[in-house]
Amino acid sequence: MTTGTGSDESLGTNDARFHQKEQIIEVSVFLFLIVPSLIISFFIVKQGSMIFKLIALSSILRDLALVSLILFFLWRNGEPLEWIGWRFKNARAEIALGILLFVPFSLGAGLLDKGLRMVGFTAPATPLASVIAEKNTAEILLATVLVIVVALAEETIFRGYLILRFKNIMANTAAAVLTSAVIFSLGHGYEGSAGVITVGVMGVAFAVIYLWRQSLVAPMVMHFLQDFIGIVLVPLLGIR
């Protein structure tokens, strides 16, 4: 027979162990988020010729870390992955839809960007494709890994997670979509004001497709194709 005092002590021990485990996971995720960037900063200063590799590696690690943080938040709150669009039951159909929608999506984004430049919005001084135009096979492969990670991670971050949280905070889906799209566009300042606006509109389009399908698969495919063509395929074909 267990006394009340012994039971309370046992519960207290179990609670302490649970909180310790939770804190270990939290600290591990946080360190994964910040340490790689801190270490890479030393190499960026000393190895200027390796800037592309370092920026790509930094971006990959950063995005993986942010997704890890999101997964931790979901685990902590007892929220299922489906709430951020990680639904893969009909993945083949969603992939096919993403490929199909990419054609009008890409054409529309290109026309918008061109129109904005014609009316005076700025364009990047150095086209993104030229960044790896003269790179070797290893860097082309790194760029491919980069666009895969970016497509998966950014859709998870900006469409799945942020829209979920903003909807809860604002109680308005349209406001959540617009806010997440604005934040998404802020990370593309290197593309000039025309690029920032275009990316913002693209973010809204990705969000609409995500909310329609309740899955991130099609937006991930579209995002990947957009970046792969611009960052990897165009340089490989020697197109300026």
How much is the pLDDT for 126?
Answer: 55
* Residue 13 pLDDT level (bands cut at 50, 70, 90): low
How much is the pLDDT for 196?
Answer: 87
Tally the C-alpha atoms within 13 A of residue 158's C-alpha that lie toward its C-beta.
29
pLDDT at residue 3 above 90?
A: no
How much is the pLDDT for 49?
Answer: 45
Same domain, 117 and 205: yes
Q: 142-181: string of b/e by CB count within 10 Å (b at 16+)?
A: bbbebbebbbbbbbbbbbbbbbbbbbeeeeeeeebbbbbb
Same domain, 202 and 176: yes
Last-in-domain residue among 23, 49, 79: 79
Same domain, 140 and 207: yes
Give the residue from 107, 124, 98 showing the smallest Cα distance to 196. 124
How much is the pLDDT for 173?
Answer: 96
* Alpha-carbon separation of residue 71 from 28, 62, 160 (angstroms): 13, 14, 11
Last-in-domain residue among 61, 79, 97: 79
Window from 201-210, 212-221, 225-234 with minimum mean pLDDT: 225-234
* Residue 28 pLDDT level (bands cut at 50, 70, 90): confident
Last-in-domain residue among 50, 79, 108: 79
Domain that holds residue 213: 87-240
Same domain, 160 and 176: yes
215: which 2 tokens? 């899955």
Cβ 191 vs Cβ 128: under 8 Å: yes
Cα Dmax for the chain: 83
Same domain, 54 and 110: no
Same domain, 70 and 16: yes
Same domain, 7 and 114: no
151: which 2 tokens? 């497509």
Same domain, 120 and 223: yes
Same domain, 217 and 167: yes
Same domain, 192 and 102: yes
pLDDT at residue 45 above 70?
A: no
Mean pLDDT, range 3-14, rounded to an integer = 56
pLDDT at residue 12 above 60?
A: no
Count of C-beta atoms within a 10 Å radius of residue 31:
12
Same domain, 139 and 43: no
Same domain, 119 and 183: yes
Count: domains in the chain:
2
In percent, how much of the chain has pLDDT > 70?
75
Mean pLDDT, range 208-235, rounded to an integer = 94
Cβ 149 vs Cβ 141: under 8 Å: no
How far is 185 from 197, CA to CA, in rounded Å?
7
Mean pLDDT, range 169-184, rounded to an integer = 93
Give the residue from 203, 232, 197 showing the smallest Cα distance to 123. 197
Cβ within 8 Å of residue 208, ≥6 positions away: 177
pLDDT digits (tens, 9 = 90+) for 98-150: 999 999 999 999 999 999 999 998 876 555 555 554 567 788 889 899 999 99
